[in-house]
Every structure is written in C-alpha cells, then in structure tokens.
Amino acid sequence: FRPDGTLVRTVTLGDAWMDWFASLLWPQKKWINHINVDGKGNILTSSWGGQYVHVHNEHGKFLFKFGGTGSGEGQQWYPCGICTDRAGDILVADRWNHRVELFDNTG
C-alpha cells in the first residue's frame, strides 16, 4: 500500500510453499501469519505452520527459505514475527524457543 492507503499491487507467492502445505491439506494462504518487505523490495513471510522464513522477490517469485523445526542455531519453533533492519539483516521472533534470532540477508 502507498502511504495514502491505495493499493500498489497484490502478489501471489510461488509454489514453493504449496508443495509442503498441500501435503497437510491446507492451502498456503491460510497459514502465512507474518510478512515483511525488506529494503530491496523482497517479501519475507513466516508462519506458525511452517517453521521457516520464505523470501520472495517483489513479484512473488520464490528466492530461498531458511530455518527449520528445532531449537538449534538457525532453527525456529513457531516464529511469531519477522522484520529487517537497515543493513538488510533479518530478525525472527521465535515463540517456543523464547528468543529473537538475527540472520544476515541470506538467512
């Protein structure tokens, strides 16, 4: 959206998520809980059902994902928020691991 509230575009995310979520018989769009746009226009999404952060370009094309279920370094257990800083680093709030993790812009 623009600052005045008008819609700029609607993006449908690629099939990377669909394969995994389809195996659970749930469409991906019902699971995306958190979204952020970085300084380059990339769209970052996370979900309680996925344990990953997915990165798409501004047109919705899948670029990469990172994370995975667990409590080890780089793993997540129910991400409950994502944001990026001015340097392009990615911060992920991890509910069940009780932490915030900082990743570089490649995850």
Task: Record the tokens describing residue 21, joined without a space.
Answer: 């979520």
Write down the pTM of the prediction.
0.74
Provide DSSP, 36-86.
EE-TTS-EEEEETTT-EEEEE-TTS-EEEEEE-BSSSTT-BSSEEEEEE-T
* Per-residue model confidence (pLDDT) at position 76: 86
Each residue's pLDDT tens digit, 65-96: 998 888 999 888 888 889 999 999 999 998 88
Each residue's pLDDT tens digit, 2-51: 778 887 777 665 555 555 544 444 444 446 788 899 999 898 988 766 78
CA distances from residue 16 to 6, 12, 56, 61 in whole angstroms, order as listed? 29, 12, 10, 9
